[in-house]
Structure 1
């Protein structure tokens, strides 16, 4: 038996259905922002439970919009769909930038259809928006289309920025390397465009902020280290603040992102590496009492991922968790599906304050390296306010074709 066995039973409860989330709804009742994580971008149960919690936050507590770790232009199509323009599947299948499965999946279709039906019955539509920074060229094109229709006098300033990026053939690496080895960047043109568009329609203004953030991100990326990570999470934090301002004084937001963004980085080695996280920034911006951070995790199963950046998506086996990890502890001591809502004040059990390895699976995943490559030391009770546990999980259902390979990787060391 793990030394944390009694503590797991004291703070956890079994999950059988959405009704068992009541205690988490009570914690979120006074919050302005609830950030819900996932230990991978390719797991059915993470999307399923995250959607179940979000539906209750919207229907029972009046949350205003969902903001996700996705690109603004792609999510704008989904936002239009849930307001009645087209069916959500048609909008989601248009996600073309790798990793497409992150949002182009049946689980997101199901949730978006629920949102569409909800909006049809209510006057104040719930929105769906992207927080991320990657869509430089897509956002530039969206800006030009909008300006030609609404503000033709401003087209030249946007075109100057667009033409500056044009030689790089929509290849962010080419632009990043150019800024490193040649004294040239498009920063000045982007800043001038941003100044001209500030205060414009939310969509075009946010696309301009994306272009500015992406330009900064790709320049930072080539330098390595924590800087590019921080550019991205600070951009997501600023976008979240902008959306809350747009929706009004009493707006409340649900955020969907990976655990590594949702969790407070100060409770992990991310902080020691100089990285800030969206969850940490949200606590600082709104106050810890206004923010609820929810992590998710699993012991074993299958997941959709790629073996390298841009590689074909596959269904891969997720091996049993590393001995001594939080996932190993919960596998031994917790119900197969469980909810943990952590005490906000007072004495906490060792399980919540000790630094324990905690698994994170990215869109690039190599199961054979799982035991030594995918764990972050974490003080669970400081990283999150609550944790959803699913012992065995399965891959989500992408809208686009995938490769199936669920062979269990060899244990390491061999034969153990």
Structure 2
């Protein structure tokens, strides 16, 4: 009696496996018909493989481009390619990155006016994850491109982040000291903006808030008044960010940061008057839906404000390695990444016939098989600046179509490079 039951169970299992394999084949075959193959992930003069993006992006105001880790070589180089394409083919002149808003002024002066130096520009970004050779190569491309352009056609470089007040307070102090208007009350709270925020005392925080209040009373009439006023606003955001820190509700501070970044992106869109920009940040920040991350991110503020004028492109991968910060060794090390788990978006995309590609979700959703896939809750790789071998892989569960407008997929990855 047991033998027939065993054979029946085996037959049913084989049937299920066969059906799943068939469904998987149907999906990947459907995706193969819709994807845009990438001939390379390296920046260069030949951008012809990206030409199909033109009709998709021509009416977009903000093109947000994410990354599934902060330490992947191909993510950096492909974003460099995308910037080249958007500048040369789509007339985009505004580049905005997840970097300190005031501090990136040093980088803007470097690429726009050849003033200052690259190291000061990198330091002004305020985030160590951009200290990569691939990023330096992109910056130098922007600088070289600008050297061939008339002023109105040059690419401007901006930041939208606001976690630190170091650069904003320096810019304001230098300007007001030059005019003899930096008062003792302003000075009292200034040192706090140069300290590690968790170490700040209640007295220091109060002094910082008072400094910001006094700076907000200043009427700037000379020099770069827009920059000075924006520095004041950034310091207001910084003090709000510090006050939002919560042991019991850690998402509160993260959400405050993303709300401020969205505000800064919207300001830059209005300030530049270009009505087109490339926005560089992590997948988490550019996404339109939080999924299992559980936080309201920048893209979730931008999407309802800009509606279909905001186009979010996520990144995904199957396997490879990344440059990761090792907290024990206090340095960056190359680590192997876990292969994308079965059922994840990376594992599905890895079965396609093309190793590296772009998939526009709106176009692809015309196929019911792809539409079902894009609107199902599935996991996607979700790494930041660090990952340790043996650590539980990082995933976010979400609906791809709700989170992004497109996906850039790289099957096999390498670690990004330290600055030479």
CA contact (8 A) 1:140 1:162 kept: no
Determine if the alignment matches structure 1 residue 110 to structure 2 residue 110. no
CA 1:252–1:332 in 2, change beyond 3 Å: closer, same or farther? same
Instruction: Decide whether the 8 Å contact of 1:12 with 1:334 is kept in 2.
Output: no
Q: SS where residue 317 of structure 1 aligns?
A: strand
Q: Are residues 164 and 302 of structure 1, via their aligned partners in 2, closer, same or farther at CA, if it must alter by over 3 Å? A: same
Ranges in structure 2 where 5+ consecutive residues have no aligned partner:
1-20, 41-46
* Deviation at residue 370 of structure 1 after TM alignment: 3.6
TM-superposed CA distance for 1:43, in Å, is 0.9
Q: SS of the residue aligned with 2:230?
A: helix
* 1:72-151 matched pairs, under 5 angstroms: 72-86=101-115, 89-92=118-121, 94=123, 99-100=127-128, 102-123=129-150, 124=152, 125-149=154-178, 151=179
- Aligned partner of 2:195 in structure 1 is 170
Closer, same or farther in 2 for the Cα pair 1:210/1:276, shift >3 Å? same
Contact kept, 8 Å, 1:23 with 1:341, in 2: the verdict is: no
Matched, 1:333 2:349: no
Alpha-carbon distance in 2 for matches of 1:119, 1:286: 29
The answer to whether 1:152 aligns with 2:171 is no
Rounded to whole Å, the distance in 1 between the matches of 2:309 and 2:194 is 43
Matched, 1:355 2:380: no
Q: Which residue of 1 aligns with 2:292?
A: 269
Q: Could you tell me which of 46, 51, 57 is aligned with 1:22?
A: 51
Aligned equivalents of 1:202, 1:88: Cα separation in 2: 23
Pair 182,72 (structure 1): closer, same or farther in 2 beyond 3 Å: closer
Q: CA deviation at 1:84?
A: 3.3
1:352 to 1:162, Cα distance in 2 relative to 1, 3 A: farther
Change (3 A) 1:379 1:168: closer
Per-residue CA deviation, residues 308-365 of structure 1 (Å, 9 max, x unaligned), is 3993222221121122211111122352111101116766622210010011111132
Given the superposition, is the C-alpha separation of residues 121 and 115 from structure 1 closer, same or farther in structure 2, using an over 3 Å criterion? same
Aligned to 2:18: none
Whether contact under 8 Å (2:165, 2:193) holds in the other structure is no
**TM-score between both structures, scaled by the size of structure 2:** 0.83
User: Are residue 383 (structure 1) and residue 411 (structure 2) matched?
Assistant: no
In 2, the alpha carbon distance for the partners of 1:36 and 1:26 equals 17
**Aligned counterparts of 1:339 and 1:169: Cα–Cα separation in 2:** 42
Question: Which one of the candidate residues 322, 327, 344 is aligned to 2:341?
Answer: 322
- Whether the 8 Å contact between 2:111 and 2:143 is mirrored in structure 1 is yes
DSSP 3-state at the match of 1:7? helix
Is contact 2:269–2:275 with CA below 8 Å preserved after alignment? yes
Tell me whether 41-50 or 197-206 shows the greater mean CA deviation.
197-206
Aligned to 1:414: none
Distance 1:393 1:81 in 2: 31
1:209 positional shift = 2.0
Q: CA RMSD in A?
A: 2.7
How far off is 1:88 after superposition?
6.1
Match of 2:231 in 1: 207
Secondary structure in structure 2 of the residue aligned to 1:240: helix
Larger of the two Rg values belongs to structure = 2
- CA distance in 1 between partners of 2:309 and 2:328 (Å): 36
Q: Aligned-pair distance for 1:284?
A: 1.4
Partners in 2 of 1:189 and 1:229 — Cα distance? 24
Counterpart of 1:260? 284
Does the 8 A contact of 2:103 with 2:124 survive in 1? yes
**SS of residue matched to 2:358:** strand
Q: Secondary structure at the match of 1:369?
A: coil
Name the CA distance, whole Å, in 2 between partners of 1:276 and 1:309: 31
Aligned residues: 383
Structure 1 window deviating more from structure 2 (326-335 vs 189-198): it is 189-198
Superposed CA deviations along residues 212-268 of structure 1, whole A, max 9, x for unmatched, are 2111112212343321111111111111122122212x43111000000011125x1
